Chain A
Amino acid sequence: MLSFRLDNSPHRNWPDYLAERAATARDPRLQRYFSAGCPAPGSSIDDAPLLALDMETTGLDASRHAIVSIGLVPFTLQRITPGAGRYWIVKPPRPLTESSITYHHITHSEVEQAPDLNDIVDELLEMMAGRLVVAHYHRLERAFIDSAFEARLGEGLRFPILDTMALEAKRYRHSWRAKLASWVGKTPASIRLQDSRDRYGLPAYTSHHALTDALATAELLQAQIAHHHSPQTPIESLWV
């Protein structure tokens, strides 16, 4: 029996994990998703079907806060297809607080009329099936999705994520050059989504919205690979 670490540290035996979950999942939807698996760890990023994912939440703590919106944009290293993107507002089990409303640009009435996450699970999992998820800061996405599924279906949902923020951090925070710069007192480069995009000459988007940010993340990954990685890079060295 394989054991899996449930913290956020990277583990690279994702195919095994997904196969195991496919065998043990009780919910048929989850079972279908896990059975679809993920691209082979040794396959190149150039060939991988990708899915940019961004979500907005009522706060940062997955145990106290909830997901309010999810944006998905399918893409590959060659092309992003925003027209095939999906976006949902979902009704959090806990009501929105006033402060989170101004942050998310989502109104009470939109949330009141929104479906519960449970109602969109089918479509969400269908979009995700077989695709490698790309997100800017995977810890948030991973923790919130896992706990939301746990709460509704009694089973969590975890999957490999390619983290564009981690790629930026590796280059601009953890490289010896970046460390040297910080020792001589230079402000470290920001690895927030828009600041990262600026470094690659990508445009600033006006709206902050799960779908726009998913698109922004997809473009950022294309730029990062174009500048710093070979398209032949195996995905196991990129996912977490």
Chain B
Amino acid sequence: MSVELLEVREHMGRFAPFDTLSDELLDDVAQHVEIAYFKAGADIYHYGQAIDELCYIRQGAVEIYRRNGELYNRLGEGDIFGQFSLLRNHPVRFPSRAIEDTLLYFIPAEVFRRLCEQDDNFADFVELERPRLEATVEQYRQSNDMMITRVRKLITRRPVMIEATASVQEAARRMREENVTSALIYEASTNADDVEARHTFTDSQGMNWTLIGILTDVDFRNRVLAAGLPAELPVVEIVSRPPRTIQSDESIHEAMLCMLRNNIHHLPVLHRRYPIGVLHLSDIVRYETNSSLYLVNNIFNQTNDKGLAQLSADVRAAFVRMVSEGADSRMIGSALSTIGRSFTRRLLELAEEALGPPPVPYCFMALGSMARNEQVIVSDQDNALVLDDRFDAERHDDYFAALAKHVSDGLAACGYSYCKGNIMATNPRWRQPLAVWKGYFSDWIARPDPQALLDSSIFFDLDAVHGEEAFVEQLQDLVAEQAAQSPTFLAAMARNALNRKPPLGFFRGFVMENTGEQKNSINLKRRGTAPMVDLIRVHALACGSRAQNSFARLDDIAETQLLPEGSGERIRYALEFISMVRIRHQALDIEAERTPDNNIEPENVSSEERHNLKEAFLVLSNAQKFLGFRYPMSRSR
């Protein structure tokens, strides 16, 4: 390939969807590229113009407009346009203009078609919405951690090393002292060229040693006691050799296969030739078991608030691990919510120990993300107390006020900050008997006032955490029965769900608003997951779903005809994708020792992620438009 085509090829090879093309296809593209320069302000394609090329921005910036002149997109270096007209074989619907001096590469239609036919990735990329988001979400799910996490991550201690000349008894004593089930046996290296050379290593004194084998608990039984050998025997006589070893940068999966293939439970781990540890089969089993279970166990073992607060670092570690292992947002949300609920329950148990048993039965109720099982690492506490109807404020409220304060302060110490809207059991308004709660919900549903509902929409995600769960179940039933019957309530909820709109996409280091305004960062919760959750909730209420989790709600919605064909799946993938971007950025924040938040800065978003986010925003935007149309405000109001 000639050198100026290499310039073309090398540039395109850095940008999606060309970055994943085979060399052969990329050569094909570069070979057929045509180039043209457009001065700032020059039109590139007019409405209705015939188009038989895909456009690639080599340098500069281009704006795409809707037919009414509204800005549709702003594109920069490495972006493409024209694919939609090419795919549908129709003339240009969205005109384009250079807004800076711009150099464009044109890829002829027949090359474009060849790429779509021969490369699925490319085809997915240039198709609209679902296929690509779906493919991306599936891809994350499949990149199982065992395949990518390296063995060295599981090594927690240095290996116990015993010289070959030591007696069996000395070896057993060392292993007892060190509390290990295996030791590595080594001897002075005599001949660097011998067959064991690959297990020869040099210690810090410059001595050469050879790892000759591994000694495990079982060997003492099978090779010494059962064989009637004396304890004075040098270990070299009983050691299994040559040792099977694994390099520290191999995957955990590879280590597991190695153990299964050789039917061994201990595997020495080497960094180059130097032994750095021994992996036991149980390490892998433990690793595979969700670590949040251990954390939950640990929460219930704490005997005071201080101990609980100290676990918040573990919560973060468990979160980062789940992310790096490729868990999806539903797994992470449910694990973190389980952890949050466990903290709450343990705090309630401790409070009851301090305050005595409750004077009347109660249920501690979670609201918002914890009720939906969608908590992330940045979470406020939103909770309330539903009390038995025998509750008498005069006599009982001191107890429940103290209980609520204990839990709320305890949660704050564990990293769940106080709710800014004061939706907490410490607020007397949200510490009421069941009958009052029923009145609250009936009133919200029967006389919906959008402004009032704005503050109370969080109550429509509700779940029991501790105590008389039946109280909260009654409230869930009430909501499921009444909400679906009240079009005005649904319309008011729908209207509120449209308050927060997604941005248009990204341009260079900025977030692009629909107005063309550029911002430095975007709050992915406020502009992405929250409006998505809001609109799912409206549909769920409309179909009488009792589910609280957004994905479970989508399952219920799918049973009905509320959404157009395919729309529910698009919403599911878009929610999953935005949630995972938010979660991954929080994990990155934690790893970089920054305070995790809901903001992402465009410079930290890969170009592939940008493309997918833009499409997820588009799904959200379309779903919002549909919502307004599906649940209109009645004219009488």
Contact = CB atoms under 8 A, between A and B. Distances in A.
Interface of A: 71, 73, 75, 78-83, 85, 87, 200-203, 205-207, 209, 211-212, 214-215, 218-219, 222-223, 226-227
Contact of A202 (B5, B8, B11, B37): B37
A209 B6 CA distance: 12
B277 interface: no
A218 B36 CA distance: 9
Contacts of B37: 200, 202, 219, 222-223, 226
Nearest to B58: A203
B33 interface: yes
A209 B5 CA distance: 12
Nearest to A86: B2
A214 B4 contact: yes
A82 B100 contact: no
A200 B101 contact: yes
Contacts of B103: 201-203, 219
Nearest to B39: A226
Interface string B581-620: 0000000000000000000000000000000000000000
A164 B561 CA distance: 66
Contacts of A219: 35, 37, 103
B38 to A, nearest CB: 7
Nearest to B7: A205
Interface string B28-44: 00111111111110100
A207 B2 CA distance: 12
10 contacts: A73-B4, A79-B35, A82-B35, A201-B101, A201-B102, A207-B6, A222-B37, A226-B37, A226-B38, A226-B39
B101 A223 contact: yes
B106 interface: yes
Given A82-B35, A222-B36, A206 B101 contact: no
Contacts of B3: 87, 207, 209, 211-212
B60 A215 contact: no
A85 B11 CA distance: 18
B369 to A, nearest CB: 46
Interface in B91-122: 100-103, 106
A223 B4 contact: no
A221 B111 CA distance: 27
A85 B101 contact: no
B59 interface: yes
Contacts of A82: 2, 4-5, 8, 33-35
A79 B34 contact: yes
A81 B34 contact: yes
Interface of B: 2-8, 11, 30-40, 42, 58-60, 100-103, 106
Nearest to A209: B3
Nearest to B100: A201
Contact of A80 (B7, B34, B100): B34
Nearest to B11: A203
Nearest to B30: A83
Summarize B's interface: helix, strand, loop or mixed: mixed
A233 to B, nearest CB: 15
Nearest to A76: B36
Shortest Cβ-Cβ A-B pairs, 5 listed? A201-B101, A222-B37, A80-B35, A226-B39, A215-B4
A211 B2 CA distance: 8
A78 B36 contact: yes
A78 B106 CA distance: 11
B39 A227 contact: yes
B619 to A, nearest CB: 34
Contacts of A206: 7
Contacts of B31: 83
B24 to A, nearest CB: 15
Contacts of A222: 36-37
Given A79-B106, A83-B33, A226 B7 contact: no
A166 B374 CA distance: 66
A226 B40 CA distance: 10
A18 to B, nearest CB: 29
Give the one of A205, A214, A215 with max B CB within 10 A: A215
Contacts of B38: 226
A73 B7 CA distance: 14
B60 A201 contact: yes
Give the one of B7, B60, B102, B106 with max A CB within 10 A: B7
A212 B4 contact: yes
A80 B40 CA distance: 19
A227 B3 CA distance: 28
A203 B35 contact: no
A115 to B, nearest CB: 17
A212 B39 CA distance: 22
Contacts of A218: 35
A218 to B, nearest CB: 8
Given A201-B101, A219-B37, A223-B37, A85 B59 contact: no
B120 to A, nearest CB: 26
Contacts of A78: 36
Nearest to A210: B3
A218 B103 CA distance: 12
Contact of B5 (A75, A83, A205): A83
A219 B37 CA distance: 7
B4 A209 contact: yes
Give the one of A83, A209, A214 with max B CB within 10 A: A83
A77 B618 CA distance: 37
Contact of B36 (A73, A79, A207): A79
B49 to A, nearest CB: 14
A214 B35 CA distance: 13
B7 A207 contact: yes
Give the one of B4, B33, B103 with max A CB within 10 A: B4
Contacts of B11: 203
A212 to B, nearest CB: 5
A226 B34 contact: no
Contacts of A79: 34-36, 106
Nearest to A75: B35
Nearest to B32: A83
A129 B63 CA distance: 39
Nearest to A211: B4
A120 to B, nearest CB: 15
Contacts of B42: 226
Nearest to A81: B34
Contacts of B34: 79-82
Contacts of A71: 4
A209 B4 CA distance: 8
Contacts of A205: 4, 7
Given A83-B31, A211-B2, A219-B37, 20 more contacts: A75-B35, A79-B34, A80-B34, A82-B5, A82-B33, A83-B5, A83-B30, A87-B2, A87-B3, A201-B60, A201-B102, A201-B103, A202-B59, A206-B7, A211-B4, A214-B4, A215-B4, A218-B35, A223-B37, A226-B37
A214 B39 CA distance: 21
Nearest to A213: B4
A83 B108 CA distance: 12
A83 B111 CA distance: 13
Contacts of B2: 82, 85, 87, 211
B27 to A, nearest CB: 10
A209 B8 CA distance: 14
Contacts of B4: 71, 73, 82, 85, 205, 209, 211-212, 214-215
B292 to A, nearest CB: 49
A85 B31 CA distance: 10
Nearest to B61: A201
Contacts of A211: 2-4
Nearest to B106: A79
A61 B277 CA distance: 70
A47 B502 CA distance: 47
B500 to A, nearest CB: 37
B77 to A, nearest CB: 9
